[in-house]
Amino acid sequence: MAKYFVYCFIFNLACCFALPQIGDRLGISDFAYLQKAGDMDTGCLHNCTKNNTVTDFTNTPEQERSFLLDLFRATRGRQFWGIKKGWDHNNTHHCNWYGIKCYNNSHYVKWIDLTGNGLHGKPPNFWRFRNLQGICLSRNKNMIGQISDVISSNMTRLRRLFISFTGLNGSVPWSVILQLHNLEKLQICCMYTELNGSLPHDIGRLSKLQVFSIGENNIKNVHLPLSIRNLTKLWFLDLEYVSLLSGEMWYFNNMTQMQYLHLTNCGIKGTLPEDFGQTHPNIIELRLYGNNLTGELHSCFLGFKKITQLSLGNNSHLRGLLPTALGKLDTLQVLDLSGNNFTGFAENMTFNKQLQTLYIDQNVNFNVKGNRLLHTLKPCSDQLRMLVAKNCGLKGGLSNTLWNFGKIMYVDLSENNMTGHIPTKDAYSMAYLFYLNLASNNFKGELPKSFFAPLKSLTYLDLRGNRNMKSKPPFLNQYLVPTHTETLHERTFTCPTLRLTLTGGRADIDPDYYGYTLCSCNAGFYGFMKYCKPCMKGAACDVATPPTQTFKAEIKVKMTIEKGYWPCCGNFTSITRMVKCSQEKKFDDEICSPSGKCKCKLNVNPVTE
């Protein structure tokens, strides 16, 4: 789920430059709630067919008003509810209270929608509302108790039950839920305290279900019931992080109305059906990340007409060439192929024009050249926002066509085998690129000023692990300056990090790039740059003042000989220790370092080191 929220992070940045936290606890956030529902229009009461007939007169409308007040008091409405319009006014009819919908020409309660309204505590059971069709209580984090405290088996008219993102806990009461035969939408995912239990073998009895969301709880080591195939009206299914012992993709073949199939990390096995795209043409989001799928892709996705997100990452046993069919998904915006065993592109394969995010990292046998990857992305050069191709065996040089992706924001090509100079290009603009990671490759040379000038939004640059990247004096230019607010600390010396002057962002570059000229010895050592030796007994080492510019000859950490000591031995060009003068017959205290101010310095030629 964390990776999925990186997508959201990028898209939010593109829209409004807001930076939400990446990967909060399994994505439990207001934004995640909207995504779980599929889209903005698929809330609890959306698109509900009209049914305005009251069939049960056991209780009176006045009694139902009293029941609502019980709910208000039990969930501490006066103290905590966000909106309580009408609830605390005796002269307001209960059908006009916030979140209450009554039947036409009747005062019986039809819907209760208090989504995200700050309910605290344990609500009373809703069984007393005998004609109730919808309970919408999601996103009330402090609402506690168990699901069986909220619903009862006699609520047979109930069609919508949304209680996700709340503090309800315990086991899922399937003996109750399976009797709600009119249920159309059941959303019980993502409880803050996590539900447990199993999936009932006769889940298929809920044949009217259109939305079923139970993911991101603590449901483990369960079998996917074969009867789930009877839920043919489903268009939204969420089993994310449900730990399945069995279940394959063909279990979902009958769900031909499916639009959102979320099966992240739930243990689905087997191969992808060859005709899956043909039998599920309305799929919009297909999330299969972190399962046990095997085999090659071939043409299994041909037929998708609306798909925007396809996640196949971290299945490890998906293999072979990426087929041309992937490039024919005209509506695809997010594609995750990471953590598999793909070996390259089929001949003439290119991605579609609308692609915005591509994860292809951790395919260690992906034996293609970096420029071949850029060629496959050429059709989406005006749309691509995010490219992650870390550790996937890319090789060869990298051409300046990288800079043709004018809207790209995030690029990670680290841990590959690419060579040559990092490309630059005249008269290009990368106004949105804020993250660039080219670490652990085999690039060489230095970064000219023309590389930095167009990167006006760059806030992170990583070039570490490119041993042949070295700069010439004066080593740095006006686009890179050292900062000691964060440092690279080695045992004997410390180097600054570098700051990007255009944005104030960070640049992680090996000190070898600037010949260690900005590094200084740590406390207890003397010398310069990375050539630092331990301070000897009988001497004191100066406190290093980190240089603010490239190395000059006078910037050194010297060792001061204490009074009564003298360096030993030889001609003072290869000192190994200090000796007390009183222990040497040829010295006396008056002529042996009489002031305690004599200094030694390390004499090393860094060019020949």
Chain segment 9-52, per-residue pLDDT in tens: 444 443 433 333 323 323 333 344 445 444 333 478 877 767 88
Q: Nearest 5°: phi and psi at 270?
A: 85, -165
Has residue 275 got a pLDDT over 90?
Answer: yes
Chain segment 541-579, per-residue pLDDT in tens: 877 766 555 545 445 778 888 887 877 775 656 677 888
Could you give the 3-state DSSP secondary structure of residue 375? helix
Q: Provide the token pair at 160.
A: 């919508």
For 500, the enclosing helix (H) or strand (E) is strand 493-500
For residue 313, the number of C-alpha atoms closer than 13 Å in the C-beta half-sphere is: 20
- The Cα–Cα gap between 258 and 244 comes to 21
- Dihedral, CA atoms, 353, 359, 363, 365, nearest 10 degrees? 30
Chain segment 134-153, per-residue pLDDT in tens: 999 999 999 999 999 999 99
Band (pLDDT 50/70/90 cuts) for residue 586 is: low
Tell me the residue range of the domain where 155 lies.
Answer: 61-226
Q: Is the dihedral of CA 159, 160, 163, 164 positive or negative?
A: positive
Mean pLDDT of the chain: 87
What is the mean predicted confidence (pLDDT) over 68-86? 97
Q: What is the largest CA-CA distance in the chain?
A: 117
Q: Is residue 96 part of a domain?
A: yes
Q: Is residue 133 part of a domain?
A: yes
Q: Nearest 5°: phi and psi at 334?
A: -125, 125
pLDDT of residue 92: 92
Of 162, 191, 226, the residue that ends a domain is: 226
Q: By the 8 A CB rule, do 294 and 273 touch? A: no
263-292 burial, b if ≥16 CB within 10 A, otherwise e? bbbbbbbebbbeebbeebeebbbbbbbbbe
Q: Provide the token pair at 553.
A: 């000859």
Instruction: Give which of 415, 364, 408, 417 is closest to 387, Cα–Cα.
Output: 408
What percentage of the chain reaches a pLDDT higher than 70?
Answer: 86
Q: Nearest 5°: phi and psi at 546?
A: -55, 130
Counting the structural domains of the chain, the total is: 2
- The Cα–Cα gap between 268 and 242 comes to 10
CA-angle at 523, arms to 518 and 528, nearest 5°: 35
DSSP sequence for 49-110: PP-------SS-HHHHHHHHHHHHHHTTHHHH-S--TTTT-TTS-GGGSTTEEEPTTS-SEE
Q: Provide the token pair at 234.
A: 């489903």
Q: Provide the token pair at 428.
A: 């290009």
State how far the alpha carbon of 399 is from the alpha carbons of 89, 369, 375, 396, in Å: 70, 11, 10, 10
Chain segment 397-416, per-residue pLDDT in tens: 998 898 899 999 999 999 99
Of 226, 245, 264, the residue that ends a domain is: 226
Q: Is residue 146 part of a domain?
A: yes
Q: Nearest 5°: phi and psi at 459?
A: -115, -10
Of 226, 246, 269, the residue that ends a domain is: 226
For 443, the enclosing helix (H) or strand (E) is strand 442-444
Has residue 319 got a pLDDT over 70?
Answer: yes
Band (pLDDT 50/70/90 cuts) for residue 367 is: confident
Band (pLDDT 50/70/90 cuts) for residue 608 is: very low
Q: Is residue 589 part of a domain?
A: no
β-strand pairing of 460-462 with 435-437 = parallel
- The Cα–Cα gap between 199 and 162 comes to 18
pLDDT of residue 472: 83
pLDDT of residue 68: 97
Q: Is residue 547 part of a domain?
A: yes
pLDDT of residue 9: 43
Domain containing residue 176: CATH number: 3.80.10.10
- The Cα–Cα gap between 440 and 416 comes to 7
Has residue 518 got a pLDDT over 90?
Answer: no
494 has which bridge partners?
A: 489, 520
pLDDT of residue 130: 95
Q: Is residue 118 part of a domain?
A: yes
Instruction: Give which of 98, 107, 102 is closest to 77, Cα–Cα.
Output: 98
Q: Is residue 217 part of a domain?
A: yes
Could you give the 3-state DSSP secondary structure of residue 377? coil
State how far the alpha carbon of 209 is from the alpha carbons of 262, 357, 501, in Å: 16, 32, 56
The pTM for the full model equals: 0.86
DSSP sequence for 159-213: -EEE--SSS-BEE--HHHHTT-TT--EEE----TT-EE----TTGGG-TT-SEEE
What percentage of the chain reaches a pLDDT higher than 90?
Answer: 66
Q: Indicate the burial class of 348 (C-beta count within 10 angstroms; 0-12, 13-18, 19 or more).
A: exposed
Q: Is residue 239 part of a domain?
A: no
For residue 394, the number of C-alpha atoms closer than 13 Å in the C-beta half-sphere is: 28
